[in-house]
Amino acid sequence: MTKLTTVRLKPPFLILIGDQSDPTYVKTGLGIVHWRPELVVGQLRFAGCGVDMGVPDMSVADAVKAGAKSLVIGVAPVGGVVPDTWWSCIEEAARSGLDIVCGLHFRLADYPGVVAAAKESGARLIDVRKPPSKLPVGTGLNRSGKRLLTVGTDCAIGKKFTALSLAEAMLDAGMQASFRATGQTGIMLAGEGIPVDAVVADFISGAAELVSPDNEDNHWDVIEGQGSLFHPGYSGVSLGLLHGSQPDAFVLCHDATRRHVSGWEHYELPTVQDAIDQHVALGRRTNPAIRCVGISVNTSGLAADKREGYLANLVSETGLPCVDPLIDGCGAIVELIQQQFPEV
């Protein structure tokens, strides 16, 4: 039987974000700092970096002295590569004995300088974005248990954060729930999963079925979404994940101030209602009973006095709980799930 990708990382971590200036593309580092701050010793930034994760700035030498065991490449830029100028720093970290942890679309073994440095020190080279072999094609067969998928009007809009928050809120409410990772950061946090955006297209739905297998009838798999159905570059992974997950429920993630696809400004985002309707229409192919149970909204770009009004209007428009998980938590969405699925 095909097994999930598993990773066993050595903390504490030094997180490399280099000269990245857009927090949208620092989601790996920011996710680790938010959810597992106790594992982070510091951040490694270069001149011109416009992002501060709120942890100490350190060089490789500083981090080694502070007890760091791994260098985590904490960025996820378009195209999944890092600038050539970063490699001398990564080689230094490997030579100093730090494991190198990478979740991008390349293999560390393809960089001879890093391989030589790691061999010299005994450091491990860990590629997180490496799907298991022999993945099956999706069957579309019903599975026991319940599933919730987080989806988005765009990429890098809070799907992982929302899934983690929902799983936590479900457990707090006495429900049985598990976070199911489908991306590099989620796998680093959970220790296992499948990086579905690195899976050959024909097997994405099969990978989603493996991530959320048969379970007890009252158990919820909370599945981390990827991409967006409305993204001209990444919609394919989203549809495969939607069909393979066969979600009973989904939560739509949205940014209150984003108007265009990030990095593709010639494409406008859909309205929240259009996004809900599209996911229901496409999701019914493998689960006719699919329904939206809430909206997760990033309101950080709104003025403080506009936030409550914005969410209230969205509640009025959709009839669904609308929350910013970072501020409100996901309790309101969990309450609706309990009401709509009383048998679970």
pLDDT exceeds cutoff 80 at 108 = yes
Burial class (CB in 10 A: 0-12, 13-18, 19+), 19: middle
Within this chain, do residues 308 and 166 fall inside the same structural domain, yes or no? yes
In this predicted model, what pLDDT tens digit does every residue of 251-272 receive, in sequence order?
999 999 999 998 899 999 999 9
Residue 99 and residue 239 in one domain: no
Task: Find out whether 241 and 223 touch, Cβ atoms under 8 Å.
Answer: yes
> Residue 32 belongs to what domain range?
5-127
In a domain, 135, yes or no: no
Is the pLDDT confidence value at 179 over 90?
A: yes
What's the rounded mean pLDDT across residues 21-33?
92
pLDDT of 1 higher than 80: no
Does position 296 have pLDDT exceeding 70, yes or no?
A: yes
Query: What is the rounded CA–CA span in Å between residue 5 and residue 111?
Result: 22
Nearest CA-CA partner of 18 in 26, 30, 9:
26
Are residues 89 and 171 located together in one domain of the fold? no
Q: How far apart are the first and last CA of the chain?
A: 29
φ and ψ at residue 58, rounded to 5 degrees: -145, 150
Is there a domain that residue 194 lies in? yes
CATH number of the CATH domain containing 159: 3.40.50.300
The domain total for the chain is 2
Residue 136 belongs to some domain of the structure? no
- With a CB cutoff of 8 Å and minimum separation 6, the contacts of 84 are none
Range 156-162 average pLDDT: 95
| Average pLDDT score over residue span 88-111 | 95
Give the pLDDT of residue 245: 98
- Answer yes or no: do 157 and 226 share one domain: yes
| Contact predicate 206/53, CB 8 Å | no
Question: Based on the domain organization, do 317 and 168 belong to the same domain?
Answer: yes
As a whole number of angstroms, the distance between CA 271 and CA 127 comes to 37
C-alpha 127/C-alpha 242 separation (Å) is 25
The answer to whether position 312 is within a domain reads yes
* List of residues 6+ apart from 279 with CB closer than 8 A: 151, 229, 242, 250, 252, 290, 292
Q: Are residues 211 and 305 in the same domain?
A: yes
What is the per-residue pLDDT across 144-155, written as a single tens digit (0 to 9) for each?
999 999 999 999
For range 41-70, the mean pLDDT: 96
Whether residue 141 is contained in a domain is answered as no
Q: What's the whole-model pTM score?
A: 0.92
Phi, psi of 168 (to 5 degrees): -65, -45
139 part of a folded domain: no
**Residue 344: which pLDDT band, with cuts at 50, 70 and 90?**
low
Domain boundary among 100, 127, 154: 127
- 76: pLDDT confidence band, cut at 50, 70 and 90? confident
Whether residue 15 is predicted with pLDDT greater than 70 in this model: the reply is yes
pLDDT above 90 covers a percentage of the chain that reads 91
Same domain, 165 and 309: yes
Q: Are residues 165 and 118 in the same domain?
A: no
Same domain, 109 and 232: no
Do residue 245 and residue 159 come from a single domain? yes
Average pLDDT in the 226-246 region? Answer: 97
Strands 5-6 vs 192-193: parallel, antiparallel or unpaired: antiparallel
| Whether residues 48 and 155 fall in one domain | no
What integer pLDDT is reported at residue 81 of this predicted model? 84
Q: What is the pLDDT of residues 183-200, one digit of tens each?
A: 999 999 999 999 999 999
Whether 134 is covered by a domain: the verdict is no
Report yes or no on 105 lying in a domain: yes
**CATH code for position 22:** 3.40.50.720
- Is 187 in the same domain as 274? yes
Per-residue pLDDT at 343 exceeds 80: no
Report the distance separating Cα 163 and Cα 267, nearest Å.
26
| Confidence band of 231 (pLDDT split at 50, 70, 90) | very high
